[in-house]
Amino acid sequence: MKRLIQTIRNIYKIEDLRVRIINTLGIILIYRLGSYIVLPGIDPSMLGALQSQTKDGLLGLLNMFSGGAFSHASIFALGIMPYISASIVVQLLGMAIPYFQKLQKEGESGRKKMNQITRYLTVFITAGQAPAYLGNVISQLPNEAISPFDPGITSPGTFFWISSIIILTSGTMFVMWLGEKITDKGIGNGISLIIMIGIIARLPFALFGEFFSRMEEQGGGLVIFVVELLVLVLVILLCILLVQGTRKIPVQFAKRIVGNKQYGGVRQYIPLKVNAAGVMPIIFAQAIMFLPLTLAGFSSSETLSGFAAAFSNFNGFWYNFTFALMIVLFTYFYTAITVNPNQMAEDMKKNGGFIPGVKPGKKTADFIDNVMSRITLPGSLFLAFVAIMPAFVRMFGVNSQFAQFYGGTSLLILVGVVLDTLQQIESHLLMRHYDGLMKSGRIKGRTSTSMAS
């Protein structure tokens, strides 16, 4: 406790860190307030059916990502997921289209151009999802819900549709802008933090819902609830191991003398992460798994049939099998983007370093690439297993909302983002010669792999 208080004091003493944390909290507060602002023309007291529809299933998961804004018919109802979908498309185009490949090699100017394209694409995706969302909201409202723009919300006019689509699109773009401001002026990755805050906002409801269900006559009692909490803690520890696990490759630096100083002659290590992609494969895969539901107009899975029903039932085999397969593929894809063996081999060669028993240059790059391929496979399989774990947990009678925190997208995002944010705070402390957050050692986040210096 004493160490915690001292750490908080140290954080407060660093002006830049203090301002960044305050900025982050302020932006998060704006986001949370916006998630409760209902679209003009919709009576918030008439949203009972919509909120019941989003208690579980894939709509419940989508509602959790938006922090409850989806079920509140909020101006932020579509959340940040259209931006994630646009990012996926742009990154995939970067692998297939020469123009985007050229932009990736242009450094900062190319990155800005790709970000601009991503924003434009986000507008189109949100504008396409907004009518489907509005159609579902209207279908869930009772006949007595009166709109100030039309005789009744069940038969809305053109003005309601156009204004609501514009508001929903603007809301998503504003949330995206808030995320970018957190990244620039705050602590952590803004987009990931916004997703995490939405998930945390639903945790108390899920926890109390599971507690009260276990306290019922057929619920199993307090003992079962405590066992569930212990299993949850175990899963959290497994997720931390997944995020922090590394494979170290030894690198020997040759001796060289410059002036009167000697450099090199020591052995260091390249820490290659077992899961170098972090939580991005899960976020990407989940965004794609929302597509059938979006194309079906955000209807509940009970009203769907055929292909849409199979891929909107997140308790079903095909949904979880496809979800796990895409996570494995996206893990390799994102690892290939974030880890560049050729660049690492070139940096080692320039600094007089080499891997014992491996020739510098292409042989070193091939060696690192082979090691990454081998350690990424078990990492991706474990990531996929943890992601579909909620489906197995629900078989034991766990509430569907609470089951999402037994792995899945929710828990992995929480663990990854929290560790990444704490790592950034610790970096600020260590740069100012203060103790870090952990006494036993430095926190390992989910940042990209780089050669140890």
Among 46, 160, 166, 129, which Cα is nearest to 298's?
A: 129
| Contacts within 8 Å (CB) and 24+ apart, 392-397 | 394/315, 397/220
15 part of a folded domain: no
Q: How many domains does the chain have?
A: 2
Q: What's the pLDDT band for 177 if we cut at 50, 70, 90?
A: very high
pLDDT for the residue 447: 46
pLDDT of 436 over the 60 cut? no
6 part of a folded domain: no
If asked whether residues 238 and 116 sit together in one domain, one would say: no
pLDDT for the residue 26: 93
Q: What's the rounded Cα separation, in Å, for the pair 97 and 103?
A: 10
If asked whether residues 172 and 304 sit together in one domain, one would say: no
Residue 68 amino acid letter: G
Task: From residue 204, give the alpha-carbon distance in Å to each of 64, 163, 208, 387, 403.
Answer: 12, 34, 6, 21, 13
Question: What value does the mean pLDDT of the chain take?
Answer: 77
380 part of a folded domain: yes
If asked whether residues 252 and 393 sit together in one domain, one would say: yes
If asked whether residues 182 and 282 sit together in one domain, one would say: no
* 154 neighbors 143 (Cβ within 8 angstroms): yes
Phi and psi dihedrals of 386, rounded to 5?
-65, -35
Q: What's the rounded Cα separation, in Å, for the pair 415 and 445?
A: 9
3-class DSSP assignment, residue 251 = strand
If asked whether residues 62 and 161 sit together in one domain, one would say: yes
pLDDT for the residue 33: 92
User: Could you read off the pLDDT of 221-254 as tens digits, one per residue?
Assistant: 788 888 888 888 888 887 777 767 666 666 655 5
If asked whether residues 307 and 424 sit together in one domain, one would say: yes
Domain limits for position 364: 218-453
If asked whether residues 302 and 384 sit together in one domain, one would say: yes
Question: What residue ranges in 181-263 does DSSP mark as E strands?
Answer: 246-253, 256-258, 261-263
Average pLDDT over residues 288-298: 69
DSSP assignment string, 124-191: HHHHHHHHHHHHHHHHHS-TT---SSSS-TTS--HHHHHHHHHHHHHHHHHHHHHHHHHHHHSSS-HH
437 part of a folded domain: yes
pLDDT of 13 over the 60 cut? yes
In the block, residue with structure tokens 């002659």: 265
Query: pTM score, two decimals?
Result: 0.74
Q: In this structure, what DSSP letter does residue 449 have? A: P
Token readout for 339 is 């880890």
If asked whether residues 341 and 222 sit together in one domain, one would say: yes
Among 405, 51, 402, 407, which Cα is nearest to 208's?
A: 402
Report the CATH number at residue 156: 1.10.3370.10
User: Could you read off the pLDDT of 371-386 as tens digits, one per residue?
Assistant: 888 888 888 888 888 8
If asked whether residues 285 and 370 sit together in one domain, one would say: yes
Q: What's the pLDDT band for 66 if we cut at 50, 70, 90?
A: confident
- CA 124, 126, 131: angle at the middle one, nearest 5? 105
Burial class (CB in 10 A: 0-12, 13-18, 19+), 193: buried
Answer with the residue of higher pLDDT: 257 or 138.
138
202 part of a folded domain: no
- Our CA dihedral for 347, 353, 355, 356, rounded to 10 degrees, sits at 170
User: Could you read off the pLDDT of 339-368 as tens digits, one per residue?
Assistant: 788 888 887 777 777 777 778 888 888 888
Average pLDDT over residues 248-272: 60
If asked whether residues 318 and 246 sit together in one domain, one would say: yes
pLDDT for the residue 365: 84
In the block, residue with structure tokens 């006494």: 439
Per the DSSP assignment, residues forming a β-bridge with 246 are 273
pLDDT of 42 over the 90 cut? no
397-427: b (≥16 Cβ within 10 Å) or e: ebbbbbbbbbbbbbbbbbbbbbbbbbbbbbb
How many residues in the chain?
Answer: 453
Q: What's the rounded Cα separation, in Å, for the pair 194 and 450?
A: 26
141 part of a folded domain: yes
Q: Which of 12-26, 29-43, 113-127, 135-149 has the lowest mean pLDDT?
A: 135-149
Token readout for 195 is 């997703």
Final residue belonging to a domain, choices 186, 209, 239: 186
Q: What's the rounded Cα separation, in Å, for the pair 360 and 349?
A: 6
296 part of a folded domain: yes
| Greatest mean pLDDT among 368-377, 425-434, 439-448 | 368-377
pLDDT for the residue 151: 43
pLDDT for the residue 175: 92
Answer with the residue of higher pLDDT: 390 or 252.
390
Average pLDDT over residues 91-103: 80
Final residue belonging to a domain, choices 129, 163, 186: 186
Among 435, 432, 443, which Cα is nearest to 15's?
A: 432
If asked whether residues 289 and 432 sit together in one domain, one would say: yes
pLDDT of 144 over the 60 cut? no
If asked whether residues 288 and 412 sit together in one domain, one would say: yes
148 part of a folded domain: yes
Token readout for 275 is 């899961």
Q: What's the rounded Cα separation, in Å, for the pair 362 and 344?
A: 11
Final residue belonging to a domain, choices 186, 206, 237: 186
pLDDT for the residue 75: 92
Among 418, 417, 443, 415, which Cα is nearest to 429's?
A: 443
